[in-house]
Structure 1
Amino acid sequence: MARELTREEKRAIRALVTKWCANYDRECGCLPLDCECYMFGKCWTGAYCRYFREAVLPLDPALEVSLMTEGPRPDFKPCPICGGAVPADGRMAYCSESCARIALRRQKRDYMRKKRR
């Protein structure tokens, strides 16, 4: 079942295409089609450009999950350390182990500063 893309999803698609798509050219648009990129006009989920789906979309895992799953868009919250996507299920606080280690170091540092006073 298709759903309408949100403004943030459209913005993320446009950013991915302009930065990472090998078929995109600023002057010509989509090089194989010789017209504007198909992904710029997308308003609904469903059919995507094959190159975008296979090569460009995996670069943004949060966007890939939200576009490829059926039903309502899953919610993500930003990682407090790097701003990456963290599932909002309440079990994870950081997007990766490295962010968790950075947060633990900061927490210990703040604790020791408070203890020294």
Structure 2
Amino acid sequence: MKEKPYQHLPPLEHRPDGSPYRMTPAQRKRASSLIRRECCNCDGGNCLALDDGDTCPCPQMVTFSICCKWFRWAVLPLDKALEAEIYHRDSVKRCAVCGAAFIPHSNRAKYCEVCKKRVHRQQKNASDRKRRWKTDK
């Protein structure tokens, strides 16, 4: 029997009440776009992992719940903002610069990982300029 590529992946997480995590229509649209671009198990909207001779549509593209292990563990981590919005709704913050969703590592975090480096560098440069400008001549 042919081994499926998703058999050895960890099980899907569920909410404390046992229900699967669900996406909003906007999140599902972003997820479908991500599946079409990045997923190697999806070919023209058909799932290769479920293929047993007949074409089978990708179940993750047609449902609002997270039901595909391959999507959860291989594709969704490619879009950290979408993953944070789906799995960490209560602890998600919006970046003050770009507005992207991110999971803060402290209660003072204001910026996503991408903007954090840029803003820190700008602040450091401004501080250095100010310090150099005030030196005695």
In the superposition, the TM-score normalised over structure 1's length comes to: 0.64
Contact map agreement 1:79 1:85 (CA 8 A) in 2 = no
Q: 1:29 is matched by which residue type in structure 2?
A: N
1:77–1:7 Cα change, 3 Å = same
Structure 1 residue 94 and structure 2 residue 120: aligned?
no
What is the root-mean-square deviation of aligned Cα atoms in Å?
A: 3.2
Structure 1 residue 21 and structure 2 residue 39: aligned?
yes
1:86–1:67 Cα change, 3 Å = closer
Say how many residue pairs are matched.
Answer: 104
CA distance in structure 1 between the aligned counterparts of 2:48 and 2:93, rounded to whole angstroms? 34
Contact map agreement 1:79 1:86 (CA 8 A) in 2 = no
Larger radius of gyration: 2
In the superposition, the TM-score normalised over structure 2's length comes to: 0.57
CA distance in structure 2 between the aligned counterparts of 1:50 and 1:4, rounded to whole angstroms? 14
Question: How far apart are 1:55 and its partner, in Å?
Answer: 0.8
Question: How far apart are 1:92 and its partner, in Å?
Answer: 1.6
Q: Which runs of 5+ in 2 are unaligned?
A: 1-16, 131-137
Contact map agreement 2:94 2:110 (CA 8 A) in 1 = no
Matched-pair identity in %: 29
Structure 1 residue 38 and structure 2 residue 59: aligned?
yes
Contact map agreement 1:58 1:64 (CA 8 A) in 2 = yes
Question: How far apart are 1:94 and its partner, in Å?
Answer: 1.3
> What is residue 55 of structure 1 aligned with on the other side?
74
Q: 1:76 is matched by which residue type in structure 2?
A: K
